[in-house]
Amino acid sequence: MCERFTFYGLSPPFQNYIQYGPGDDPAGALGAGQQAATGLTNFFQFWAYICPILGAIVADQYLGRYKTIIVFATIYAIGQLILVTTSIPSASYSTHYAGLVVAMIVIGLGTGGIKSNVSALIVEQYSNTKRYIKVTKKGERVIVDPTITIQRMYTWFYWAINIGGLSSMATTQLELRVGFWAAYLLPFCVFFLALAVLIIGRKKYVTRPPRGSVVLYAFKVMWIGLRNKGNLDAAKPSFQATIGGNKHTTHWNDLFVDEIRRALVACRIFVFFPIYWVCYNQMLNNLISQAAEMDDHGIPNDFLQNIDPIALIVFIPIMDLIVYPTLRKLGIHFRPITRIFVGFLFGAAAMGFTAGIQVHVLFVDMAN
């Protein structure tokens, strides 16, 4: 929650900070225009979401998840310190610009290392893998299903993330009333709460030592497959043995190769995710610029993106406690792919609605 408070607290002010100058309304710092602002914020989001691959490799191959989180959290804090110190009003334009770019790179690296390991660390805390019967306080016998338990764990994990996501309610107000340095300072301070909890609770976590990166092995298997015209079987130790190779030179078995094949087939669903995230990320750049063209009635133009975490905070408990259990009792299997599809429909409708608003904004501007 604290880490997401930091990430979602410092991200929304970026658009105004980059797009507008100090004398503009809304005020900014760089005056680089909407195109540059959108490009830089999209780069930051891309970088922050590609770095988890590096974080996963470091954890699995070298440090383990807990130590990796500590290391990348330290990197994260350094990036925030750079952002805060280079955003003070007395700093020069070049300091603002260079500081922002360096901070984006360092913060993206830090959050990437954390993001890939926190989710996995959570599931490691739950060791039960089999169904069992439990008698409730009311005397009712119920089946405890590990799959549903883990689903609920991540549902409430996501809920906590969006509690942290409300931080921009404060940082956008600080940006407007005090300055960008104050908007970046608050997340920086809150981040130390996350570090404190992590360090104080170090003896309570269930941790596992690094066992080698499955990501690196997966890349090696796929590379062998590519070299053999897409034939993944060529990476199997049993296949290597038939052509005179040493089956002990690989760090995986035949089953691992079969799992990679199934994983690649399953990854077809992710082909559609970039389209969704292009739409979703508009809330952190173009929709902020769109709001700046409207009457704000004293509300910061980058404040409205808080509707997203508020909606999630409201609907996650409703879905987890009411909708999904009711559907299961009715025998309706609302599986993950169906949920994703319905979510895509809502996302498409939202972007169509937003496009209609922008057309209206342009007509009003032309009329004026």
To 5 degrees, how large is the angle CA 285–CA 357–CA 35?
30
Q: 2-334 has which fold?
A: Growth Hormone; Chain: A; (1.20.1250)
120-159 b/e (C-beta count within 10 Å ≥ 16 → b): ebeeeeeeeeeeeeeeeeeeeeeeeeeeeeeeeeeeeeeb
pLDDT at 191 over 90: yes
Residue 215, pLDDT score? 83
Q: What is the mean pLDDT of residues 309-337?
A: 88
Domains of the chain by residue range: 2-334
pLDDT at 366 over 90: no
pLDDT tens for residues 146-171?
A: 888 888 888 889 888 889 989 999 99
pLDDT at 175 over 80: yes
Q: What is the mean pLDDT of residues 98-123?
A: 93
Choice among 87-101, 165-179, 233-247 with the minimum mean pLDDT: 233-247
Strand intervals (E) in the chain:
132-135, 141-144
Number of alpha helices (DSSP H) and beta strands (DSSP E) in the chain: 17, 2
- Measured distance CA(261)–CA(267) in Å, rounded: 10
pLDDT at 360 over 80: yes
Residue 35, pLDDT score? 94
Residue 71, pLDDT score? 96
Residue 244, pLDDT score? 59
Residue 127, pLDDT score? 82
Instruction: For residue 179, name the pLDDT band (cuts at 50, 70, 90).
Output: very high
Residue 119, pLDDT score? 87
